[in-house]
Amino acid sequence: MSMREIRNRKDRLLATAADIALRPFAALVKFAREESPYFKHPEIVKKVLIMRVDNIGDVVMATSLVRELKKNIFMNARIDLLVRPEAVPLLRGNPYAAEIIPYRGLRTAAQIRAKDYDVAIEPRGDIRYIFFLFMAGIKRRVGFDRAGGAYMLTDIVPYKSGMPLSARNMEIVKYFDKEVKAEAHSELYETETGAKEADELLKAIGERKKTIGIFPCSKFAAKEWEPAKFGMLARKISDEGFIPAICGSDSEIEKCGQVADNSGGSAVNFAGKLSLEGLVSFVKRCDCVIGNDSAPVHIAAALDVPVIIVSGPMDADIVKPHHRSEEKLRVVFKRLPCSFCNSIKVLPAKCRGKTTPECLEKIEVDEVFSAFREVAAECKM
């Protein structure tokens, strides 16, 4: 058990307590079920469940796992995905997933149990979701011993700390067949609904021009570069003949408005105007995407769109997306003595009271703009 991967102290204590409390309970359940080792050769497995119940960016990265398992391991099985309800539209049209199931807590366990899966995979290594699969009664449960609950798994995949998340997903594929040369890049597919939504929105720009999607927000404020700097960046991009298009969800309208104000009118503001399906189609139509370490940059990489990431507390080498084309990806970050603290819920003492963590605060507009110009030249934008 390796609780060190849980950076937040409160979360780490809770996970440790849960791990200790659940161990005797799990032993009793296994005894009552008369649970014994369960194995079916992958070629005769009929039903597989992949559970990825966390942030949108992580769900995007998991699409490579779905594809590689379907193409190389469970070729004759149906593979279903269990994700948060808000992530369901993101995965519509995925040719490797038979069904996208919304996760609604433990009450979903009965629904999952009724589907009688042969194998379940939990690639996060989260005790909460390992417990869910255990209670759902799936006979073969595969995952990492990352943060407790390994005794509720039937197959433990070796966990390698410090490995990029996209590559770690591929370790699960290699667990089943170490000879497979798995490809770590993600994939997304636009829907007809999303395409119509994006095309309608882009009419605001008029005749097709080179559009740069700017995503200044994140689920975690500690990952956000200053709105004023995003605004100044938009102004520089506009001066190069591109159209900066600011995007964000309904809850991010105010912050996107600050960026638009700081752009001096050089950017269009599409905040709050796109569903998740529409967002996928909009990003696909962008010539480049610039944003914090957040879901949109992962969506862009999955669509093979050039990406520039402004990265802060998280270790960029671990959390960045795996892009099919290296020349299309740039990560701008500032290495400090305290890098990388990976603290996004509770900032370290030196950054408390700040609007922006020091590692992001020290990134200048010209650094990000230079990265944009490099990508624009290499991709002949």
Give dist(CA 23, CA 151) in Å, integer.
7
Which among 193, 186, 187 has a CA at the least distance from the CA of 275?
A: 193
Residue 202: pLDDT over 60:
yes
pLDDT of residue 2: 58
Residue 4: pLDDT over 60:
no
pTM of the model: 0.92
Give dist(CA 299, CA 301) in Å, integer.
6
Q: How confident is the model at residue 197 (pLDDT cuts 50, 70, 90)?
A: very high
Which among 333, 293, 319, 295 has a CA at the least distance from the CA of 5?
A: 319
Give dist(CA 83, CA 5) in Å, integer.
22
Residue 326: pLDDT over 90:
no
Residue 349: pLDDT over 80:
no
pLDDT of residue 1: 46
Residue 31: pLDDT over 90:
no
pLDDT of residue 196: 95
Both structure tokens of 10: 């409160």
Residue of higher predicted confidence among 221 and 373: 373
SS (H, E, C) 5-51: HCCCHHHHHHHHHHHHHHHHHHHHHHHHHCCCCCCCCHHHCCEEEEE
Residue 98 near residue 72 (C-beta atoms within 8 A):
no
- What confidence tens digit (pLDDT) does each residue in 114-166 have? 999 999 999 998 999 999 999 999 999 999 988 888 999 999 999 888 888 88
DSSP codes, 46-110? -EEEEE--S-HHHHHHHHHHHHHHHHHT-TTSEEEEEE-GGGGGGGTT-TT-SEEEE-BTBTHHH
Give dist(CA 125, CA 295) in Å, integer.
20
Both structure tokens of 380: 């002949």
Q: Which of 117-121, 212-216, 352-356 has the lowest mean pLDDT?
A: 352-356
pLDDT of residue 175: 94
Average pLDDT value over all residues in the chain: 90
